[in-house]
Amino acid sequence: MINRRGFLGAAGAGAVALGGLGASRAAGGATVDVLLDEPIGTIRPEIYSHFTEHIGGVIYDGIWVGPDSKVANIGGVRKQLVDHMKRLGEVVVRWPGGCFADAYHWRDGIGPAAKRPRRFGRWKEVTEPNAFGTHEFMRFCRLCGDAPYFAANVGMGSPSEFQDWVEYCNAPAGATTLADERVANGDRDPFGVAYWGVGNESWGCGGKFTPEDYCREYRRFTEWVPEYGVKPYLIAAGPNGNDMDWTRRFFAKWVDGARAPLAAFAAHYYCGTTGHALEFSVDQWYEMLHKANFMETLIREQWAAMGEFDPERRVKLIIDEWGCWHPPGTEINPRHLYEQMGCLRDALVAALTLDVFNRHADKVDMANVAQLINNIHSLFLADGDKFVCTPTFHVFEMYRPHHGATSVRVEAQSPEVPFKIGNRDAKLFRVAGSASRAGAKAVTITLVHSHATEPVEAEVRLKGAEAASVRKTVLSHAELNAHNTFETPDAVAPMSADADLRGGSLRVVLDPASVTRFDVILS
C-alpha cells in the first residue's frame, strides 16, 4: 500500500478515526462560506447516474449471471448488485454503450434467449451472446428503481431502426404490431423510456463524423420520434473532453434554419490516470485530483459555447461518461476488459466531481460515471459469487442527501497545495465542496480535503442561519491507495458521529485525504 510519505509500505489497518478539535495540530487553515440565501438550482438525482456497456465484465458476470446461476439472482440479475443500487436512490442507468451502442441492433436482444443470434462483440473479438437485451435491461432498472437511458445505433443503424425501438418500448399494448411483439416477449406494460441518446462519441467510434455530418444524421434520426405518452428526452453526442470546435460547429449547423428537437448535449471527460491504479507517488495523487478538477472548466466553457447558439437555454449539458481510467494490471479477472481496482484516490476524484456538478446544478441535467461494475471507475467489483463495493460507491451513498435538494453557493478559501507534474510546478486547492438545502431546516455540506498528509482546521460559516445540530460522516484512510477487496470488503468505509457543533460558525478539523459530509439541522 502507498502511505502518505509516497512509497510502498504495509497496508493500513482500517479507516482512520474521525477528525476533531482534539486531533493533532492542523496545518494552515480554511474557511468555507455557505451562502444559504443564494440558490443555484435543484440538484437533479440524475447527476448521480450510471453507465453500463457490453464490454468485459460489466454485463456478463457483473449485472447478469443468468436465472440458472448458483449466484444469488433475481430473474438472472445479480441480487447483491440490486440490493446495493437501492441504497443509491432513484437515478438513471445508460445502456448498451458506449462504443458498443453503435454496433448494436436491438432486435438481436429480444425474443427467446435460445434463438437470439450470436454476434461479433466489438471488443477483443469476443462473442456477444445477446442473452441480455432490452427486456433484461428493463428488468434490472425496475428492480433497482432506476430510469433507463438507451443509446441508439447511429454508426451502423438507421432512423427507422431507432424509431422502431422507441415504438417497441413505449407503445401501449394493442396499439401497434411492435407493441404486440413486446407483449408476446413478456412485457404487457410499456417501458416508458424517456432518455434516448442519438449515437455515442460520434467524433470517434460512433462513426468518425465531422460535427456538421453528425448534425445532419441527428436531424434524420429525430425528425419523427413517437411519443406514446412519454416525451422523448433526446440527447446529442457532444465533444471529446472540452473540444470547443466540435461544440460550436455542431450548434452552428443545428441553428442554420432546421433546428431538430434537442434536450441535451453530452460531453465525455475521462481525467485519465497518473501513475497506476494502486502505485503512485504523492505528486501523482495531487495530479490526479488536479486533472479531475478540470471538470469545472469544461462545464463553464461548454455551457458558454452552447449559449452562443441557444440563448434561451433550452438545451442542457450532460456528462454521460466520466471518471478515472488507469492502465491495466489490477483486474480481478483477466476477461474483464478495462477493469481496475478503485482506491481512496478514485473516491476523492468522484467526490470532487460530484461537488462540481452540484455547484452547476443550473447547467448539468445528468451525469453518468463510467462504469457501474467491473470496468474503469467502478462502484462495484464482482467475479462469480464474489462481490465488493469500491470506495467510490461509498461516496455516491454519502452524497445521496443532495438528491433533489437546492444547491446553494459555497465559497471555499484555503492555502493551495504545491506539487509537481514532472518537472513543472503546480498547485491544487486544499478544500473544495458543495452544499444544498432541503426544506427549511436541513442542510448538507460535502467537502473534499486534498492534502495527502496533514489535517486542516476549517471554519464553516453558515450565512443567514445557525446550526442546532450537526452530524459528520468521513471517508478516509491512512493509506492513499487503500482499497476494498473480496477478502477485506470494509477496508475503506465511511464513519459517522454526532459533532458537538452549534451556531453560525462551525470549527472543524478535516482529515488528510478525506471526503466529509456534514448533516446540519438549522435552528
Helix (H, G, I), strand (E, B) or coil at 420: strand
Helix (H, G, I), strand (E, B) or coil at 54: coil
Q: Are residues 383 and 286 in the same domain?
A: yes
Distances from the Cα of 194 to the Cαs of 93, 151, 191, 205, 500, in angstroms?
12, 11, 9, 25, 46
Reported as a single tens digit per residue, the pLDDT across 210-250 is 999 999 999 999 998 999 999 999 999 999 999 999 999 99
Q: Which of 321, 397, 457, 479 is catalytic?
A: 321
Which region among 24-38, 181-195, 234-248, 395-409 has the lowest average model confidence (pLDDT)?
Answer: 24-38
Reported as a single tens digit per residue, the pLDDT across 334-384 is 999 999 999 999 999 999 999 999 999 999 999 999 999 999 999 999 999
The CATH number of residue 459's host domain is 2.60.40.1180
Q: Are residues 223 and 340 in the same domain?
A: yes
Q: Are residues 305 and 328 in the same domain?
A: yes
| Cβ 503 vs Cβ 467: under 8 Å | yes
Reported as a single tens digit per residue, the pLDDT across 373-417 is 999 999 999 999 999 999 999 999 999 999 999 999 999 999 999
Largest distance between two CA atoms of the chain:
71
Backbone angles phi, psi at 395, to 5 degrees: -65, -45
- Residue 228 identity (one-letter amino acid): Y
Higher pLDDT, residue 256 or 110? 110
* pLDDT cut 90: percent of the chain above it: 90
Q: Which of 167, 201, 217, 479 is catalytic?
A: 201
Specify the pLDDT at position 500.
86
Quick check: is 479 catalytic?
no
The total number of structural domains that make up the chain: 2
Higher pLDDT, residue 504 or 28? 504
Backbone angles phi, psi at 68, to 5 degrees: -95, 5
Specify the pLDDT at position 362.
97
Helix (H, G, I), strand (E, B) or coil at 506: strand
**Cα angle value 187/192/196 (rounded, 5°):** 120
Q: Give the pLDDT band of residue 9 (cuts 50, 70, 90).
A: very low
Q: Is the pLDDT of residue 120 over 90?
A: no
Which region among 162-166, 390-394, 500-504 has the lowest average model confidence (pLDDT)?
Answer: 500-504
Integer Cα distance of 277 and 264 in angstroms: 32
Arithmetic mean of pLDDT, 69-90 = 98
Arithmetic mean of pLDDT, 195-223 = 97
Which region among 198-202, 212-216, 271-275 has the lowest average model confidence (pLDDT)?
Answer: 271-275
Residue 434 is part of which domain span? 30-41+407-522
Q: Are residues 396 and 451 in the same domain?
A: no
Residue 399 CB contacts under 8 Å (≥ 6 apart), including other chains: 48, 351, 354, 446, 517
The CATH number of residue 192's host domain is 3.20.20.80
Spell 313-347 as b/e; 16+ CB within 10 A means b.
eebbbbbbbbbbbbeeebbbbeebbbbbbbbbbbb
Residue 290 lies in a domain: yes
Helical axes 159-170 vs 134-144, angle rounded to 10°: 50
Q: Are residues 224 and 316 in the same domain?
A: yes
Residue 201 lies in a domain: yes
Residue 37 CB contacts under 8 Å (≥ 6 apart), including other chains: 408, 463, 464
Quick check: is 201 catalytic?
yes
Domain finish residue from 403, 421, 453: 403
Q: Is the pLDDT of residue 433 over 80?
A: yes
Arithmetic mean of pLDDT, 147-155 = 98
